Amino acid sequence: MKNQLFFFICLFPLLLVAQQILPENERARVVDEILEDRFNNLLPNLMDKTGIDMWILISREYNEDPVLRTMLPAKWLNARRRTILVFYRDKKNNTIDKLAVARYNVGKSINSAWDKEKEPNQWKRLMELIEERSPSKIGLNFSQDHNIADGLDKTDYDAFMANLPKKYKSSVVSAEQLAVRWIETRTERELVIYNQLVEITHDIITEAFSEKVITPGITTTTEVEWWMRQKVTDLGLETWFHPTIDVQRTSEELVSHLYSFSGRPNDMVILPGDLLHCDFGITYLRLNTDCQELAYVLKSEEKNAPEFLVKGLKDGNRVQDFLTSNMVKGKTGNEILAKSLADAKAAGLRPSIYTHPLGLYGHSAGTTIGMWDSQGGVMKDDGENYPLNPNTVYAIELNTTITIPEWKRDIRIMLEEAGFYGEDGFRYVNGRQTELLLIPRVKSHQDN
């Protein structure tokens, strides 16, 4: 009986996380319900705002348009043959047609509008649907400025234009604004789910940065990375990038930002006195997280992290505050970046800001607020002129450089947390790190 109780106590933290995660059939139900809500309630509004009354998405199996991928039902892991989706918005009658020029219905929301036995030519049937509705603007997914909105390949574009009646050719426009708004906009239900996703992400990081995973002097950074990756798999989740763990310590020199992404030494043994940093995210219910947190490995005589690291984290939080206070509806990413950097520097900080949209993709479409190698502002093809819109989620990703006399060197305080921007302003989806995680956790009932 004691052994069973001990096993349950050890398993309990895993159960707390696992019980939140749905089995595959329930995930499919939720994904399809969210899609139906987005098609029926969000999409008509977005089409009205962007002035496109017909949106046509064309994809072939295994070469899917990034936007069309987000519209496929849970049971469709890929498009089938050539899949053509047609959305027609009749604003006057407040209706939206959701049609598929395909052999099958595309989930519950999009009905097949092609009988191949009656009309063998798929392109001809598409043109019949266009003629029947006579749209004023036909949006296609091609874009120079937004990669996710550039999913129509040349073969299908050429075939579409070759078959399109001459009177409609001048109606064809880029659907980039509509495509980006579809990708970036979160519904109320998605935001509720997002809170859970970020909580799961935080829980995994908290466990990874603990004595349950890390034994100083033995465990390596690479082992922690693979532990996190395995944890995600064991929970039935996915990750959209491989986790990274890096170390800053007294004997290391400050290196370039690339250190966190490539060129990092593998299998560094984690030692007392190390400042650990992780970059980690998960994918669940078609949404993505992206989080960076910090932990300190206590020396034998310590019960708390050194005050200079505690202060460094507070400086990182201050840079976050400067950024999020400057997130204003209608401002472009470059405008927000310039003002935030100026404010932080005026306060004596040394900031770097590289915040990106987060949602149906990890590096998603929307307002880009800097890149680590573009602190003067991003170029046009990265969405320079794209304004901040409400009901959007961002990875608030940044760092500040601090000088540590005790270590005789500079270090970076690198942070990343999911944040929501709504009509009432900014908030963190599931909080942010304001205290360093300690390894091992201090046991208050014992003298260190």
Selection from 285, 284, 397 nearest residue 337 by Cα: 397
Kindly indicate the confidence band of residue 384, based on its pLDDT and cuts at 50, 70 and 90: low
Closest by Cα among 16, 22, 86, 21 to 57: 86
Sign of CA dihedral 315, 390, 182, 158: negative
What does the pLDDT look like over 155-211, one tens digit per residue? 999 999 999 999 999 999 999 999 999 999 999 999 999 999 999 999 999 999 999
Whether the per-residue pLDDT at 18 is higher than 50: the answer is no
How many other C-beta atoms lie within 10 A of the C-beta of residue 232?
21
Residue pair 69/35 in contact by the 8 Å Cβ criterion: no
Q: Comparing 306 with 254, which gets the higher pLDDT?
A: 306
pLDDT, position 16: 47
Predicted confidence (pLDDT) at residue 11 exceeds the cutoff of 50: no
* Least confident window among 390-394, 417-421, 442-446: 442-446
Q: What is the pLDDT of residue 260?
A: 52
pLDDT at 275: 98
The interaxial angle of helices 221-234 and 188-208, nearest 10 deg, is 140
What is d(CA 376, CA 352) in angstroms, rounded to the nearest whole number?
10
Q: In angstroms, rounded to a whole number, what is the distance separating the alpha carbons of residues 276 and 426?
A: 28
pLDDT, tens digit (0-9, with 9 covering 90-100), for 54-88: 999 999 888 899 999 999 988 877 777 889 999 99
For 304-318, write each residue's pLDDT tens digit: 999 999 999 999 999
Quick one: what percent of the chain has pLDDT higher than 70?
91
Strand order in the sheet with 95-101: 111-112, 95-101, 82-90, 54-60, 138-140, 172-174
Longest dimension (CA), the chain: 83
- pLDDT tens-digit profile of 121-160? 999 999 999 999 999 999 999 998 899 999 999 999 999 9
Nearest by Cα to 189 from 390, 67, 36? 36
Are 123 and 114 in contact by the 8 Å Cβ rule? The answer is no
Query: What's the CA gap between 229 and 287, in Å, rounded?
Result: 17
- For tokens 């050194």, the residue is 306
Q: What percent of the chain has pLDDT above 90?
A: 78
List Cβ<8 Å contacts ≥24 apart for 260-266.
260/414, 264/221, 266/220, 266/221, 266/222
The strand pair at 291-297 and 437-439 is best described as: parallel
Q: What is the 3-state secondary structure (H, E, C) of the chain?
A: CHHHHHHHHHHHHHHHHHCCCCCHHHHHHHHHHHHHHHHHHHHHHHHHHHCCCEEEEEEECCECCHHHHCCCCCCCCCCCCEEEEEEEEECCCCEEEEEEECCCCECCCEEECCCCCCCCCHHHHHHHHHHHHCCCCEEECCCCCCHHHCCCCHHHHHHHHHHCCHHHHHHEEECHHHHHHHHHECCHHHHHHHHHHHHHHHHHHHHHCCCCCCCCCCCEHHHHHHHHHHHHHHCCCECCCCCEEEEECCCCCCCCHHHHCCCCCCCCECCCCCEEEEEECCEECCEECCEEEEEEECCCCCCCCCHHHHHHHHHHHHHHHHHHHCCCCCCEHHHHHHHHHHHHHHCCCCEEECEEECCCCCCCCCCCECECCECCCCCHHHCCCCECCCCEEEEEEEEEEEEECCCCEEEEEEEEEEEEEECCEEEECCCCCCCCEEECCCCCCCCC
CA 197, CA 202: separation in Å to the nearest integer? Answer: 9
